[in-house]
A and B are shown apart, each in its own frame.
Chain A
């Protein structure tokens, strides 16, 4: 495997379950046990009802394109990849994640449709950190 040459997230204590799940190919999300709402990024307090009772569950790994852009200028390892598409993903379970979108043609942005179904996949950047990316479901 070629060395991963792009920024690698550093897991922190609060969201370690997210990265533990990612290593196993699972999208783990935090959910409030009081109001049952999902949030992302992970927090120790529910941003909806302010309870401190948060549990982790395995999500469907599916979502929809909320909005997107095509990056024509980037830095570091990403500079070699331009143009590439970035997108905010509405998770089926609620709230959003950000990604470099796979399975799309960055030279034809008009053909990408908001609302398109996408599925998560994980790319091993290191043994410990597998980074989620979202791909348009063919």
Chain B
């Protein structure tokens, strides 16, 4: 029998690019990658030449070339924002199998710079535009313009099926903004960092414009630049470094559909399957989690995911954020970086989740520019989930502190 890879590897460091969010001058994707890689190497003491495996969305060979290294294992899984959680899953498996000891997972995405210099809709490098895909023939002819125009249909169905209300979803946006005010690198940290920044309440939520009813602007994530990198290492190496390891107790991934035409239940995602796989590997369950990092491309994404991960009953996802439960100082902190809604969302937000997860469990969430007093939680375990595509693909990790 193969061995359970739980705890066979740890995330040993996590870093961001030097300028993220809305940089003053445009950034290339490679700049964002390489700055983050340089920073995580400095943080851990691991040299780029020691990296044996490179994981990134589509671009792993280009990263290796740029670094001048010749990895013996690489993975270009590019299935949306959850790709990076999957990369960690794959790195864990490769390390557990003894193929590599040190793996790099890296992200560089200039959603803001691309839009600022080349116009909307150019943030993603891929695309292709095959006219014969199901979506090209049967959804895109109907005025669909990006994720919000799809995800709104899930929110309508959730409200119909479970009686959830805009006020319920507003609590997710308001709470997440509270966390952003503790993260100086968050786009919406304060009125100084952005005219729309700083704390928000129901008035701001209700008066924000419609993007795709029932999604208000404040239900939707930002479009920013971000570079991030984490290093995953075998247990032996993890214990030898100057940084604290954050152990990978469980990992799972799944998909339920690609085109939203095939989303059988608009109020459910494959996070149920990927979450259960991660919990099972870890030998833990939802009640063992002390905080969560949940993909919040939209408030509805976060709400459904909370349900799928077993953190609330079905239909009651928004209740996780009610009554300050998930807010700074609350019983169950969620999205302590300020989320995709108010910190940073470059298009694929999974790396931002990993970086903050590492910081929280390594006790570095308030170091330097990472956060100000009140951001660091006492959590020793967390569940982190990425969602990609059209509520399609998910990657989930259970992480525990050393």
A binding-site residues for B, Cβ under 8 Å: 6-12, 15, 40-41, 66-75, 78, 81, 83-84, 86-88, 96-100, 109, 114, 131
B134 CB to closest chain A CB (Å) equals 4
In the bound complex, what is the Cα–Cα distance between A9 and B135 (angstroms)? Answer: 9
Residues of B within 8 A of A100 (CB): 142-143
| B152 partner residues in chain A, CB cutoff 8 A | 69-70
Given contacts A69-B155, A131-B141, 11 further A-B contacts (CB under 8 A): A41-B138, A41-B259, A68-B156, A69-B153, A69-B215, A72-B210, A83-B213, A86-B143, A87-B153, A98-B139, A109-B214
For the complex, is B209 an interface residue (Cβ under 8 Å from A)? Answer: yes
Q: Is B195 an interface residue (CB 8 A)?
A: no
| Tally of contacts, chain A with chain B, CB under 8 A | 106
Task: Return the contact of A72 from the options B134, B154, B209 (Cβ within 8 A).
Answer: B209
Separation of A83 and B120 alpha carbons in the complex (Å): 19
- A84 → chain B, closest Cβ, in Å? 6
From A84, A88, A97, A98, residue with most partner B Cβ within 10 Å: A98
Tally of B interface residues using CB under 8 Å: 35
Q: Is the CB of A69 within 8 A of B141?
A: no
Which residues of A lie under 8 Å from residue B215 when comparing CB positions?
Answer: 69
On whether A84 and B260 interact (CB within 8 A), knowing A67-B156, A68-B153, the answer reads: no
Bound complex: CA A74 to CA B210 (Å): 12
- Asked whether, in the complex, the Cβ of B213 is within 8 Å of the Cβ of A75, the reply is no
- B157 in the interface (beta carbon within 8 A): yes
If A75-B121, A86-B149, A96-B261 touch, whether A70 touches B212 (CB-CB below 8 Å) is: yes
Contact call B136/A98, Cβ cutoff below 8 A: no
Bound Cα distance A84, B145 (Å): 12
B270 to chain A, nearest CB (A): 16
Q: Is the CB of B137 within 8 A of A10?
A: yes
Q: Enumerate chain A residues within 8 angstroms of B141, measured Cβ to Cβ.
A: 6-9, 131
Cross-chain contact A84 with B131 (CB below 8 angstroms): no
**Which residues of B are found within 8 Å of A88, using beta-carbon distances?**
153, 260-261, 266
Given the complex of chains A and B, what is the CA–CA distance between A109 and B121 in angstroms?
Answer: 27
In the bound assembly, the distance between CA atoms of A88 and B209 in angstroms comes to 24
Q: Point out which of A40, A41, A83, A131 has the most chain B C-beta atoms below 10 A from its C-beta.
A: A41
B120 partner residues in chain A, CB cutoff 8 A = 75
